[in-house]
Each structure stands twice: as structure tokens, then as C-alpha cells.
Amino acid sequence: MEAAAQVQPQRQMRRLEPAAIAGIMSREVANFRTYWKGTTFSSVLEPIVYLLAFGLGLSATLVDEVNGVPYIEFVGTGMVATAVIFSSALPAMFGTFVKHRFQNTYDAILAAPVDVEELVSAEMLWIGIRSGTYGCIPLLVTICFGLDPAPGMLLVPLFCFVTALGFAGFGVAMAATVAKIDQFNYVTALFVTPLFLVAGTFFPIEGLPQGVQVAAQFNPLHQLVELVRGGAFGFAAVDLLRFAFLVGFALLTWRVAIHQMRKRLID
Amino acid sequence: MAAIELHDAVKTFGPITAVAGLDLEVPEGICLGLLGPNGAGKSTTMRLLTGQAIADSGELRVLGHELPGEAKTARGKMGVVPQLDNLDVDVTVEDNLAIFARLYRVPDVGKAVDKALNIARLQERRRDAVDELSGGMRRRLLLARGLVHEPRLVLLDEPTVGLDPQIRTELWTLIGELKARGTTILMSTHYIEEAERLADEVAVMHEGRIISRGRPVELIDEHAGHQTAEIYGPPDRLAETRAEAESRGLAVRPAGPAIAVVGSEKADGFVPDDAVVRAASLEDVFVLLTGEEAE
């Protein structure tokens, strides 16, 4: 046929093709170029406001130190987890829902040689990279407030990335599950807020009732907080288990997100 | 080898049967118009062909690839132009095209984007965000996006639905150029004029099945004869005329404020003197076969 210059692939396509994932991520990058300034501005300003309010405010009046760590450094290292959940779970929930229901973006992408597994993986990877980067900002801000840099901090982007992957998968799965965008209120109230509050960001979980302490061990944000503090103040052997937990969390939500999205996108 | 082969394809959504034992073959190099009223199953058929819907039963093959197992490979060789505008509105025209060139694994993305911009006649607007384009430009871009990898087969799902006449004509010109290059096209539409102008063959779809297929002139000849008489008047007169025509075995259909006696050349003097007699059309065929008013 005259029309078709045979540029299209002739081979059978496989699962999880890097070209498909890179193509979807290039779309995210193109969009990100249009809104990165606002996102970066709020990502820098928010930890400063939190550190001023909680760190300086509380440490001047109520709390001086926690477990031998100045309170501002305790909060500053914990804020990394806050930045990660709010820059991964929420964009994944709302972004996925909007792209699917209002913009019909996924219909366009799935008409190309891309499958749901690649689509979800690319979305998660992009959010993981972005959130892994923005998650480090509170740590940098805390260094400006007096925290001593430590070599272990170099691993913080990795910890943030893996945790963000998990919460991105959670967000995508939720977006594929809810019927209306209003139902994200339930998700936020039932999951996001409790996870955020019982992560050990603002106060140590050791002061909480025994049952809550046990439950907190299953909170990925708590594991992230402990890993970031390990990076700042010294790792312990148990941190390997914490990291393994986060990898497991990411793998679990990845598969759940793919399953839910397949149900939603393929009739 | 046919570009598209569907045999006894069935797709249900709960109690609703959207595609009911559909048989459809589209040879390479033709433009087939899938003409049917809303709810006939056209869009579901399109989604079956892209693997975005999985048939309950039946055999489906696109460009030699079995569906749904090889749907991804098949999608790499076909282009899809959707009914709804799903462009990335904040992103530039050329980025919209480049993203899809990458998704289609085109080796030279820059060259593919330039070619697609030429097709859409948007070279001057390549660095503008999509939300700065007019409605017509956006539709042209949507079409060009589906062609960025120069596919062998293009699925056009209601390509001009909801567009004003000027934009529709622009799109028809582009689709005509695509046809002239020999690309196989499956175009779903519920606009009679669109099917008449663009399609080499028309398949009339109703309630999930193809109920008739052929070249437009063949369909008209087979189902509507040579001429149609449109009779105007008050409702009582139209009702009486209709009853009499039907008692004579003539096909009658509503035609807005009138009734149309289809195949009126066989009416043996029945047609009133004040009737407007015209050549039978594809619209007559569509309404007779589907019982739905045409658009």
C-alpha cells in the first residue's frame, strides 16, 4: 500500500515495554513543564511554614527535644513523609480520575500500542520520581534550619521514591475504584489523614497506646519517617526490614492498581 | 487478507447486548462507512477492534492479528481518531504529536511530527498550546495524531459529530486525502451525507448487527428503488395517504413535516400531483432499515 510507510513495528509486542513507559512519561513531562513553577513553589514554602509553626513554635513553648533530637530537626526529618504522601497519593487519586473521566486521556493512550500494565507503571514511576525529588525538600529546608548533613541522607531520595511508588499505586487504585470524585473525601479521611498523623512526624509513636503502636508498624509513612531519621542520625539493622516493607508495599499497590484500572478501562 | 475480520462477535454489558453476532470484513484499501443510529453498537465495535473492549464470544482479527491476544501489536499498525477530543490542552501542538509518535515507536519522531503537522495544516501553530486553537484546528490535530505513525488502517469513530458544517467539510477533505493515499478506513457515523461522500461501501448497523451492506448506489437500488415522493399537508391528509400507500404495499417513512413514499416509481398513479418527487437516497434506505430518523 502506497500510504503506509512501514515505520510501525512488525514484531509481536511484549509486556512492560520500556518504549511504551517512556512514551507515557514523556507526556507527563510535557504537562509538568506547564505547571512546575507552582508545584515547586508550594513544595518549598510548605515545609518552611510547617517548620516555623511546629518546629520553632512548639520547641519554644512546649517541646525542646525528642529522644535527644532537637524538636525542629525531629519535625523536619518527619516532614519528608508528609511531603511524600501529599505529592504522591493525592496527585495519583485526583490526576488519574481526571485523566480517565474528564479528559479521556487513557482512551487515547490505550488506542496506541500500550496496555494497562504499562500505563499504570508509567504513571506510578513518574509520580515516584517527582515525589522522590520533592520529598527531599523538607530535609534541605531543615538543613537550612540547622540540621547537620550526614552521608546517610543521600539515600533519602531512594526511600522517598519507593514510598511514593507505593502511595502512587494506592492513589491510582482508589481512582479506579471510586464512582465519583467526591468519594475521595472518604479515602482522605479514612486512610490518608490517619496515616499522616500516626507516622511519627510530629510526635514519637512510643507515647501512643500499645495497639496504635503496633498498627503504626504497618504504616508505610512511619517506616519512611524512621528511615529518613536513620539517614540523618544513624541507621540501625532494623532499617533493612523497614526498606523491605516499603518495597513490598510498592509491589502490592502496583499490582492492585493494575487490577483495578484494568477493570475500569477495559470493557 | 482483509484488514478487519469479525465473525459472530458478541459483546454484552449486563442485560444490554451492544454487539449481537456481528460479522464484518473490511478489505484492505477501502473506506467502509459503518452507518447506524445512536446505540447501534458502532462505538463498541470500534473498542472491540482496539482491544479496549473484550468480546464475550466470536473471532476477531485485525491486520492478521487475533484479538484480544495480539491487540497491542495490532494497535501499533492502526490509527484511531476518537469521537471525543482527548488532546492534552495545556501542551503544545507538536508535543501532542511527539508523545504519540513515541507511543507508536516511530523511529524518527521529529520527521513524523513534521509530516503530521503538514497533514493537519498546523505548521504555523506548532508551538502553540492546544487550548489556543480553534475547534476546527483541534479536530485536524486529532486526526493528524491518529496518523502520526502512518498506519495501514485508520478507525474514525464519528469523526465529525457535533461539528459545525464548515469544520465538517474541512475534515472531509482530510479524510478524502487519506482515502486517496490508499489507507484502509473504517468510519463509524450516523451522518448520512458523511457516509455517502466518503465511503466506498456502507454497512448499515442496527441493534448490534449489520443489516445491509454495499456501495451506496447498490443499497439505494436494492432497498429504495429509483425515486421517492415527499407528500406535504395537514396531519389528517398525511395519515390517510400513508394508510392508502401501505395498503398498496408501498414503503412509507416519516420525513420531517412530510411523509415519503419510497420507490414511488412503482406507485401506479397513486402519487398526488403536489408531491415532490426526487431521486431515492441513502437516507431513505437508512430510515427504512432502521426505523430511525436520519441526521
In this prediction the ipTM stands at 0.86
pLDDT over 80 (residue A138): yes
pLDDT over 50 (residue B284): yes
Between chains, do B102 and A22 touch, taking CB under 8 Å as contact? yes
Which CATH number is B236's domain given? Answer: 3.30.70
**Does residue B288 form part of some domain?**
no
pLDDT over 90 (residue A159): yes
pLDDT over 90 (residue A81): yes
Domain boundary among B170, B201, B220: B220
**Does residue A41 form part of some domain?**
no
Question: If you average pLDDT over residues A127-150, what whole number do you get?
Answer: 93
User: Does one domain contain both B72 and B133?
Assistant: yes
Q: What is the pLDDT of residue A4?
A: 45
User: Does one domain contain both B110 and B253?
Assistant: no
Using an 8 Å CB-CB cutoff, list chain A residues near B152. 1, 3-4, 8
**Least confident window among A1-10, A48-57, A117-126, A194-203:** A1-10
User: pLDDT category, A125, cuts 50, 70, 90?
Assistant: very high
Between chains, do A23 and B91 touch, taking CB under 8 Å as contact? no
**Does residue B90 form part of some domain?**
yes
Q: What is the pLDDT of residue A7?
A: 46
User: pLDDT category, B293, cuts 50, 70, 90?
Assistant: low
Burial label, A6 (beta-carbon count in 10 A; 0-12, 13-18, 19+): exposed
Residues belonging to chain A: 267
pLDDT over 50 (residue A205): yes
pLDDT over 70 (residue A175): yes
Distance from CA of A111 to the nearest CA of B (A): 6
Q: For the segment B96-107, what is each residue's pLDDT rounded down to a tens digit? A: 999 999 999 999
Residue B70 forms contact with A (CB below 8 Å): yes
Question: If you average pLDDT over residues B219-247, what whole number do you get?
Answer: 87
pLDDT over 90 (residue A72): no
Give the range with max mean pLDDT: A208-212, B8-12, B34-38, B169-173: B8-12
**Does residue A169 form part of some domain?**
yes
Helix, strand, coil share of chain A (percent; to 5) = 75, 0, 25
Using an 8 Å CB-CB cutoff, list chain B residues near A107. 52, 82, 84, 86
Domain boundary among B185, B220, B255: B220
Query: What cell does B102 get?
Result: 513515541
Give chain A's domain count.
1
Q: What is the pLDDT of residue B153?
A: 95
Q: What is the pLDDT of residue B294?
A: 56
**Does residue A175 form part of some domain?**
yes
User: Does one domain contain both B245 and B149?
Assistant: no
Q: For the segment A45-67, what is each residue's pLDDT rounded down to a tens digit? A: 888 888 888 767 776 667 778 88
Between chains, do B103 and A2 touch, taking CB under 8 Å as contact? no
User: pLDDT category, B64, cuts 50, 70, 90?
Assistant: very high
CA gap B138, A211 in Å, rounded: 57
User: Does one domain contain both B120 and B17?
Assistant: yes
- The answer to whether A202 and A208 have CB atoms below 8 angstroms apart is no
**Which has the closest alpha carbon to A224: A88, A44, A78, A125?**
A78
Question: If you average pLDDT over residues B238-261, what whole number do you get?
Answer: 85
Between chains, do A8 and B104 touch, taking CB under 8 Å as contact? yes
**Does residue A241 form part of some domain?**
yes
User: Does one domain contain both B80 and B203?
Assistant: yes
pLDDT over 50 (residue A2): no
Q: What is the pLDDT of residue B183?
A: 92
Give chain B's domain count.
2
Question: If you average pLDDT over residues B272-285, what whole number do you get?
Answer: 86
Residues from A in contact with B at Cβ < 8 Å: 1-5, 7-9, 11-13, 19-20, 22-24, 26-27, 30-31, 34-35, 103-105, 107-115, 265-267
Angular region, A81: left φ>0, alpha ψ -120 to 50, beta rest: alpha
Using an 8 Å CB-CB cutoff, list chain B residues near A37. none
Average pLDDT across chain A, whole number: 90
**Does residue A174 form part of some domain?**
yes
pLDDT over 80 (residue A90): yes
Which CATH number is B89's domain given? Answer: 3.40.50.300
Residue B27 forms contact with A (CB below 8 Å): no
Domain containing residue B263: 226-279
Using an 8 Å CB-CB cutoff, list chain B residues near A103. 86, 88
CA dihedral sign, ordered B105, B111, B116, B117 = positive
**Does residue A37 form part of some domain?**
no
pLDDT over 80 (residue A8): no
pTM of this prediction exceeds 0.80 = yes
Q: For the segment B113-134, what is each residue's pLDDT rounded down to a tens digit? A: 999 999 888 999 999 999 999 8
Q: What is the pLDDT of residue B12?
A: 96
**Does residue A203 form part of some domain?**
yes
Mutate which: B46, B103, B150, vs A, most A CBs within 10 A: B103
More confident residue, A137 or A9: A137
Mutate which: A36, A110, A261, vs B, most B CBs within 10 A: A110
Q: What is the pLDDT of residue B295?
A: 57
Q: For the segment B14-56, what is each residue's pLDDT rounded down to a tens digit? A: 999 999 999 999 999 999 999 988 889 999 999 999 999 999 9
Q: What is the pLDDT of residue A106?
A: 96
User: Does one domain contain both B207 and B258?
Assistant: no
Task: Tell me the H-state helices in chain B.
Answer: 42-50, 71-75, 93-103, 109-120, 135-146, 165-180, 192-198, 216-224, 235-247, 282-290
Distance from CA of B54 to the nearest CA of A (A): 6
**Does residue A187 form part of some domain?**
yes
Q: What is the pLDDT of residue A11?
A: 67
CB pairs under 8 A between A and B: 127
**Does residue B206 form part of some domain?**
yes
**Does residue B16 form part of some domain?**
yes
More confident residue, B146 or A57: B146
User: Does one domain contain both B109 and B214?
Assistant: yes
Domain containing residue A128: 82-134+148-265
DSSP string, B119-162: HHT-GGGTTSBGGGS-HHHHHHHHHHHHTTT--SEEEEESTTTT
User: Does one domain contain both B7 and B58?
Assistant: yes
Q: What is the pLDDT of residue A135?
A: 92
User: Does one domain contain both B50 and B154?
Assistant: yes
